[in-house]
């Protein structure tokens, strides 16, 4: 006698318990503290904050812990929390020209006002496993305290702009900036919406697309005009006050890519921009984002749209890893009703086929 499978409730309860156990691992190993994640896995925290669209190191650390280090899962957790938060208003645009710089490099000028500041980077490390780190009491290295960075660190794009060599950034319209977390995207999307989606977009996806533009799929001849990392003040203008008040400070990475543009009948040849930004230190992401941003401007600049990275619908609809991960993994859910329909039709078609063949053989 067959008894239909029951007990979804209990199965879920049990799965949750197993998950909790796995997350904790061997109880003999001390539990990881949020401050450890924040301090020692800080780049993971940065990525989760960026793609989770929420600047909160402690919550991001908690999400990483709860997700057992699965960053996309952590991003998902953070997003699901963020969506419940009350929206007080939008801050004023941050001014990255006033950033307290920790790292600032330009690939287009050997030297420039404010100089090149290498800062904390993997760039010139040799990728050799450092076995001394396996030792839990690895000695801390004291970094040389940098000389007080030059007070003036103008942005490279602004320097080019003085000569008119680079396009003016289109002045912001008075219309409110789009918000992809509150409104469905409409196409064609404006640049504000595109940049938001790319900033939240999956690092791997954006990286691959940015890479593809460098391999001939929508060439845009990028130069890393400037990458800067540091702290900026966040200002908010309460309507009842009418003037901005500083409400905090955040770390951001910003990348301005400079790209060739041949000019057109209406516009003289000049450099064009691709822009990338992230919370914390996500340099790879911001550079790739800048490449993709520039590629997506192909249509605006009258360039032929041929490559995936230039295809707004393709890029914007597929860059979000929370959406992508959910939908790919929903294939785990039962589909047996639909599959039953498919079984039914395949059987019928096979029967038709057999009948036809026997019929033909009989003739």
Note the residues at the interface with another protein (CB under 8 A): 1-2, 4, 6-9, 11-12, 76, 79-80, 82-84, 86, 181-188, 264-265, 313, 317, 322-323, 325-330, 333-338, 340-345, 348-349, 352
Q: Choose between 205 and 275: whose C-beta lies nearer to another protein.
A: 205
Chain centroid offset of residue 198 CA: 6
Strands 100-105 and 245-259: unpaired
Distance CA 138, CA 78 (A): 32
Q: Choose between 79 and 228: whose C-beta lies nearer to another protein.
A: 79
**In angstroms, what is the minimal distance from the CB of 55 to another protein?**
16
C-beta atoms surrounding 26 within 10 Å: 5
Distance CA 156, CA 104 (A): 10
Strands 100-105 and 222-236: antiparallel
SS3 call for 114: coil
**In angstroms, what is the minimal distance from the CB of 168 to another protein?**
22
Q: Choose between 7 and 171: whose C-beta lies nearer to another protein.
A: 7
**Can you give the three-state secondary structure of 132-167, one letter per residue?**
HHHCCCCCCCCCCCCCCCCCCCCCHHHHHHHCCCEC
**In angstroms, what is the minimal distance from the CB of 7 to another protein?**
7
Q: Choose between 77 and 166: whose C-beta lies nearer to another protein.
A: 77
Please say whether the beta carbons of 203 and 284 come within 8 A. Answer: yes
C-beta atoms surrounding 258 within 10 Å: 25
Helix residue ranges per DSSP H, 25-98: 34-40, 42-52, 57-66, 71-82
Distance CA 329, CA 72 (A): 13
Q: Residue 211: enclosing H or E segment and its boundaries?
A: helix 203-214
Please list the residues that pair with 274 across neighbouring strands.
257
**In angstroms, what is the minimal distance from the CB of 339 to another protein?**
9
**In angstroms, what is the minimal distance from the CB of 46 to another protein?**
20
Please list the residues that pair with 255 across neighbouring strands.
227, 276
**In angstroms, what is the minimal distance from the CB of 10 to another protein?**
9
Q: Choose between 130 and 323: whose C-beta lies nearer to another protein.
A: 323
**In angstroms, what is the minimal distance from the CB of 133 to another protein?**
35
**In angstroms, what is the minimal distance from the CB of 187 to another protein?**
5
Q: Choose between 36 and 264: whose C-beta lies nearer to another protein.
A: 264
Q: Choose between 245 and 351: whose C-beta lies nearer to another protein.
A: 351
Q: Choose between 242 and 268: whose C-beta lies nearer to another protein.
A: 268
């Amino acid at each position: 006698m067959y008894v239909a499978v029951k007990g979804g409730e209990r199965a879920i309860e049990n799965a949750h318990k197993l998950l909790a156990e796995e997350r904790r691992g061997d109880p003999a190993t001390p539990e990881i503290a949020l401050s450890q994640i924040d301090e020692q896995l800080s780049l993971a925290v940065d990525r989760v904050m960026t793609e989770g669209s929420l600047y909160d190191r402690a919550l991001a650390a908690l999400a990483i812990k709860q997700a057992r280090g699965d960053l996309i899962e952590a991003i998902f957790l953070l997003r699901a929390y963020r969506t419940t938060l009350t929206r007080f208003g939008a801050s004023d645009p941050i001014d990255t020209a006033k950033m307290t710089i920790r790292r600032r490099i330009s690939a287009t000028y050997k030297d420039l006002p404010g100089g090149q500041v290498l800062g904390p980077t993997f760039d010139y490390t040799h990728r050799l496993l450092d076995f001394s780190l396996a030792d839990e009491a690895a000695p801390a290295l004291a970094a040389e305290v940098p000389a007080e960075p030059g007070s003036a660190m103008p942005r490279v794009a602004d320097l080019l702009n003085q000569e008119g060599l680079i396009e003016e950034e289109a002045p912001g319209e008075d219309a409110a900036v789009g918000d992809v977390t509150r409104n469905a995207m409409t196409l064609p999307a404006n640049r504000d919406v595109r940049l938001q989606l790319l900033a939240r977009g999956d690092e791997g996806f954006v990286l691959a697309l940015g890479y593809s533009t460098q391999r001939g799929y929508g060439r845009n001849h990028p130069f890393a005009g400037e990458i800067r990392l540091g702290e900026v003040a966040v200002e908010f203008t309460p309507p009842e006050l009418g003037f901005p008040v500083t409400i905090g400070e955040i770390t951001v990475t910003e990348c301005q890519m400079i790209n060739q543009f041949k000019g057109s009948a209406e516009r003289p040849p000049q450099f064009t921009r691709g822009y990338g930004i992230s919370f914390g230190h996500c340099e790879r992401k911001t550079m790739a984002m800048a490449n993709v941003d520039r590629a997506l401007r192909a249509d605006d600049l009258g360039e032929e749209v041929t490559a995936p990275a230039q295809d707004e619908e393709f890029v914007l609809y597929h860059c979000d890893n929370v959406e992508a991960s959910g939908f790919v993994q929903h294939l785990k859910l039962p589909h047996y009703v639909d599959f039953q329909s498919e079984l039914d039709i395949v059987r019928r078609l096979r029967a038709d086929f057999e009948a036809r063949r026997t019929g033909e053989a009989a003739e």
